[in-house]
Copies of this chain bind each other. A is one copy, B any other.
């Protein structure tokens, strides 16, 4: 895998860097076959959103962060694409929130779990992060889900009250909501099943979301739960951004 050499002035620098990160992750065995296709779908929606964090996405991220900070048992889950695109930043967020990370993949194989675990442990070493990484030895199941994707850790996802699940599958999002958790999803498609099912949907790119939350944490601002937050309205605002790009 070659070094990434694109110049920062390249108009597609961020996009090319994301692709490079995914190529590296694929070569490490971290990704399922469908991962690059899923990333392409995300690219299309990001393009329609103007490849920028919208005001409503920022408010959703802020409210999500407030819920994570106020939680008794917050947790952040990481799958292949999330680990590749924003592994470092989500580990930094978990460290700041003093919560664990759980590796949480849809097409579960031991080889991929190990590749992801090693990737995250490497980041921890380099950046002096002490966050616990769960998911290697699942000992609980998410109710009403079949197959390996139901596997989770009793001390992690299973007993969490507020859960940040970036790039989550719709079925699993629904099952987590049905467990009574506050489920925070990051999804570039405001009309996806996950986006519609979640308690809070941040319609934005996962790396921008993680950086946005880290910025909030390092600022002096009070981060309070927004009791007027309405996810339906939040999604509609992202839909309006896309529609206005079409109509004009």
Contacts and interface: CB of A to CB of B under 8 A. Distances in A.
Contact of A40 (B41, B239, B246, B247): B41
Interface in A1-43: 19, 22-23, 33-34, 36-43
Interface of A is mostly: helix
A35 B146 CA distance: 32
A52 interface: no
A160 interface: no
A216 interface: no
A45 interface: yes
A242 interface: yes
Contacts of A43: 37, 40-41, 44
In the complex, which range does the number of interface residues on chain A fall in? 20 to 34
Interface string A220-248: 00000000000000000001001100110
A37 B39 contact: yes
Nearest to A18: B37
A207 to B, nearest CB: 16
A44 B243 contact: no
Contact of A243 (B23, B33, B42, B246): B246
A74 to B, nearest CB: 31
A247 B246 CA distance: 11
A77 interface: no
Contact of A37 (B40, B45, B47, B247): B40
Q: Which 9 A-B pairs have the closest CB atoms?
A: A40-B40, A44-B44, A36-B36, A37-B40, A243-B246, A41-B44, A40-B41, A36-B37, A41-B43
